[in-house]
Amino acid sequence: SALFSPSSLLLLLLPSQGLPQFSILESFDGQPIAHYDSHTKEYRSLVPWMEQVKKEEPLWKEYTKISKKAEQDFGRNLVTLKKYYNHSEGFHTLQWRYGCELSYGCPQGGSDQDSYDGMTFISFDKETLSWTASDTAAQLSKRKLEGNPSVAKHIKYYLEETCIEMLRRRITYGKEALLRKGLDEIFWGEDESPQLLS
């Protein structure tokens, strides 16, 4: 059943070539459920059941403010990366992807990685509290992050505690949608008996 499959919560922050220039997409088991962009300047739910999450999530009222700050930080970080990579012209992108996963109610990891122009340039290992840089330019970001150990501790806490709590809340309120998703995997054969698609 879909309720017992691994569930994941993923946030993707990225600028886009067209407008809006910046957006955040929150997805639950691969389905978009909330969104922020540089046009609306508001963190919005995309599915009806998220309205209940909005009422119960302590930070929901802060998400728009947090998203606006992330938009400003992203702009500064993109300028910095363009310098690191010696890119003075052209269109370039920065993506930040982070999230967590539960399987049978137990946390199954978490990830945090940044990509520049579509290629991962730095990723975080929450078990070792360390950063992996993909190239010389990314080493500059790695050194900067390692210079402030509280950043790694904060990200580890977010991935292991905050993100998992948010995911559990989304499982609670999104379970009907998950059940429907599970039912969509069943079809009726000619003999009118349900059969599971593989």
Could you read off the pLDDT tens digit of each residue along the chain, which spans 198 residues?
Answer: 333 345 676 777 666 555 568 899 999 888 899 999 988 999 999 999 999 999 888 888 899 999 999 999 988 999 999 999 999 888 888 899 999 988 877 888 889 999 999 899 999 999 999 999 999 999 999 999 999 999 999 999 999 999 999 999 999 888 777 676 654 433 333 333 333 333
Classify residue 61: in a domain, yes or no.
Answer: yes
Classify residue 123: in a domain, yes or no.
Answer: yes
Domain extent, residue 93, equals 2-181
Classify residue 105: in a domain, yes or no.
Answer: yes
The CATH number for 164's domain is 3.30.500.10
For 91, other C-beta atoms within 10 Å of its C-beta total 9
In the chain, how many domains are there?
A: 1
Classify residue 14: in a domain, yes or no.
Answer: yes
Classify residue 20: in a domain, yes or no.
Answer: yes
Distance CA 126, CA 94 (A): 21
Classify residue 190: in a domain, yes or no.
Answer: no
Classify residue 187: in a domain, yes or no.
Answer: no
- What confidence tens digit (pLDDT) does each residue in 162-196 have? 999 999 999 988 877 767 665 443 333 333 333 33
Classify residue 6: in a domain, yes or no.
Answer: yes
